[in-house]
Amino acid sequence: MARFTQSESRRHQPQPTHPAPVSLLLQQPLLLIPHQHQPAHQPVPKPMNGPETVSMHTDGSAMKDQDAIKLFIGQIPRNLEEKDLKPLFEQFGKIHELSVLKDRYTGMHKGCAFLTYCARESAIKAQNALHEQKTLPGMTRPIQVKPADSECRGEDRKLFVGMLNKQQTEEDVYRLFEPYGAIEECTVLRGPDGNSKGCAFVKYSTHSEAQSAISSLHGSQTMPGASSSLVVKFADTDKERTIRRMQQMAGQFGIFNPSVALPTFSSYSTYSSYAHALMQQQQQAVMAVSQSGYLAPSLSFPSAQIHQVGALTMNGLPPNTLNPVSGLSSPPATMPSSLPGLVTPMMNGYTGLAPQANGHPLDTLYTNGLPPYSAQSPTAADTLQQAFTGVQQYTAIYPATTLTPIGQSLPQLPQVIGQQQREGEGPEGCNLFIYHLPQEFGDNELMQMFLPFGNVISSKVFMDRATNQSKCFGFVSFDNPGSAQAAIQAMNGFQIGMKRLKVQLKRPKDASRPY
DNA sequence: TCTTATT
């Protein structure tokens, strides 16, 4: 097979005396897949299906081994579809199913696929032969062929290794970690130029091996040229990564730090990457709307784009005045379009459900009236992200610190229930004190940031009377203690630029003014 | 100093 000339040759190379490419060392890379000792029944060959379109069942769905392994295939050029990939993988055995991952709404090729062979053995062969062994045309990294996450989640045995020296290779890291257990995967992180970023991932076959490596290696030595001693810890989970990215973005774009954000915002590069980041974060929402025909998908760059994205974000936020719990569950009939491209339908999208008093508040947010693209019950990270986008939109729309009252330019935005504007009006346990707010935050920004956690009945940033500047602290009141707790949980310590928010219950009045 | 993706 012409495509495989390179991997053919490497496949038949003798094993190196010294562990060179790590993937070659992994003699039994699939060791950890639980093996069910059931006799592998021979698949009965069936005639091939017609032309493959989305995913293929070449042998009929029932005809795979009980212990078959689903493989994740990564680094696939986006122009290759199932039918193009099939020949590459067929040489290792009959394919039970092969499906390229596509974005749910845009149909966009995600550059990866799932592959299940009829026979477990085929998967092992394919992984040994292909994983990291060949780079598909147009890709900068070699193809990935390994068990899908669904087969065996490895989060609890995967380590992040930091403070390596940039000259250290996979092999060096492998040797360092080898004494503590069987290493399944070992990757040094590299930038686009191929230079090491001074950190790595090491996946052991068990949690206890990983733990043992941490105990023995963390802080044990300082690599030449490294600024501090070796870091060995469990790698971030997906959720942690999401949060980290949001924080990085906040820092990078200086969203919460006007002295950085405002001067650079007008520069093309910052502006464009900011828009890009927003796009990424909001892509689903944008696409969901545009596909349903409410918004033409043309986003003319640059100014219209950022405004549209901002507008959509705005709509995507939970209008907490429509809270079923408080008996106001009907969505608004109209959404005034004061911005070009602003559309109504997203409004029905989110209906803020107040956290239940008994369960886990964050898990019960937004479980009602959800748009199809966020059907699962969101997690704390989702809620955090929600809060984050709520903050972002203001900087997108009002980059010049104008602090235009949101109700004036976007009249249908979430309104404060009961029209109370005084701070500390909620019942005890419902009022929050927030410190380390960004200087440019006003009442509305504050409210927006806390809306995802429940019904905000008031939000107040304290201003210095003399200078009319924010004192960087304020109060938010919810209509129930569960929301307040959820907000503390998610937002206390939330990093904004160089500062972390302090979010705690407001002291009761009598406690603050004892007499 | 936390990857390029995981239905």
**Across A122-126, A188-192, A199-203, A250-254, least confident range:** A250-254
**pTM value?**
0.45
Q: How far apart are CA A425 and CA A111, in angstroms?
A: 52
Contact A495, A503 (CB under 8 A): no
**Structure-token pair, residue A513:** 């003014």
- Among A47-61, A208-222, A257-271, A347-361, top mean pLDDT goes to A208-222
Residue whose Cα is closest to the C1' of B7:
A101
Q: Among A262, A255, A275, which Cα is nearest to A499's?
A: A255
* Whether A231 CB is under 7 Å from strand B: yes
Check whether A287 has a pLDDT greater than 90.
Answer: no
- The CA–CA distances, whole Å, from A146 to A74, A78, A431 equal 9, 19, 50
* Amino acid found at A207: H
**DSSP β-bridge partners for residue A496:** A499
Higher pLDDT, A497 or A423: A497
Indicate the helix (H) or strand (E) that contains A482. helix A481-491
**Measured on CA atoms in the order A482, A485, A486, A487, is the torsion positive or negative?**
positive
Give every CB contact of residue A9 below 8 A, 6+ residues apart in sequence: none
Taking the C1' atom of every nucleotide in all shown strands and the CA of A110, the nearest one is: B5
* Whether A41 CB is under 7 Å from strand B: no
Contact A334, A405 (CB under 8 A): no
* Whether A146 CB is under 7 Å from strand B: yes
> What pLDDT does A156 receive?
86
- Among A16-30, A39-53, A281-295, A442-456, top mean pLDDT goes to A442-456
Higher pLDDT, A337 or A143: A143
User: Phi/psi at A153 (nearest 5 deg)?
Assistant: -70, 135
Please, is A135 exposed, middle or buried when counting C-beta atoms within 10 Å of its C-beta (0-12, 13-18, 19+)? middle
Percent of chain A's residues with pLDDT above 70: 52
> What pLDDT does A333 receive?
31
> What pLDDT does A193 receive?
83
Q: Among A383, A393, A376, which Cα is nearest to A489's?
A: A383
* Whether A33 CB is under 7 Å from strand B: no
> What pLDDT does A364 receive?
31
Matching residue, tokens 């212990």: A67
- How many of the other CB atoms lie within 10 Å of CB of A116? 23
Higher pLDDT, A151 or A333: A151
Cis peptide before A302 (omega within 30 of 0): yes
* Whether A187 CB is under 7 Å from strand B: yes
* Whether A74 CB is under 7 Å from strand B: yes
Return the DSSP state at A352.
P
Higher pLDDT, A146 or A509: A146
Higher pLDDT, A236 or A408: A236
Output the CA torsion A284→A285→A288→A291 (10° steps). Answer: -100
Higher pLDDT, A111 or A38: A111
* Whether A70 CB is under 7 Å from strand B: yes
Residue whose Cα is closest to the C1' of B4:
A75
Distance from residue A340 (CA) to nucleotide B3 (C1'), in Å? 38
**Across A137-146, A179-188, A350-359, A462-471, least confident range:** A350-359
Q: Which nucleotides of B are covered by protein (CB under 7 A)?
A: 1-7
Instruction: Assign A332 to helix, strand or coil.
Output: coil
Give every CB contact of residue A145 below 8 A, 6+ residues apart in sequence: A71, A72, A73, A74, A115, A126, A127, A130, A131
Taking the C1' atom of every nucleotide in all shown strands and the CA of A139, the nearest one is: B4
> What pLDDT does A397 receive?
34
* pLDDT, mean of residues A273-290: 35
Q: How far apart are CA A336 and CA A86, in angstroms?
A: 50
pLDDT class of A279 with cuts at 50, 70, 90: very low
Average pLDDT score over chain A: 65
> What pLDDT does A463 receive?
92
Q: Among A299, A317, A298, which Cα is nearest to A307's?
A: A299
Residues 236-295 of A with CB under 7 A from strand B: 236, 241, 244-245
Taking the C1' atom of every nucleotide in all shown strands and the CA of A163, the nearest one is: B1
**Structure-token pair, residue A262:** 């405002």
> What pLDDT does A241 receive?
79
Residue whose Cα is closest to the C1' of B6:
A149
pLDDT class of A388 with cuts at 50, 70, 90: low
Distance from residue A237 (CA) to nucleotide B6 (C1'), in Å? 13
Q: How far apart are CA A232 and CA A452, in angstroms?
A: 35
* Amino acid found at A142: P
Percent of chain A's residues with pLDDT above 90: 38
Give every CB contact of residue A333 below 8 A, 6+ residues apart in sequence: none
* Whether A134 CB is under 7 Å from strand B: no
Q: How far apart are CA A449 and CA A477, in angstroms?
A: 12
* pLDDT, mean of residues A80-105: 95
* Whether A99 CB is under 7 Å from strand B: yes
Residues 160-179 of A with CB under 7 A from strand B: 160, 162-163
* Whether A189 CB is under 7 Å from strand B: yes
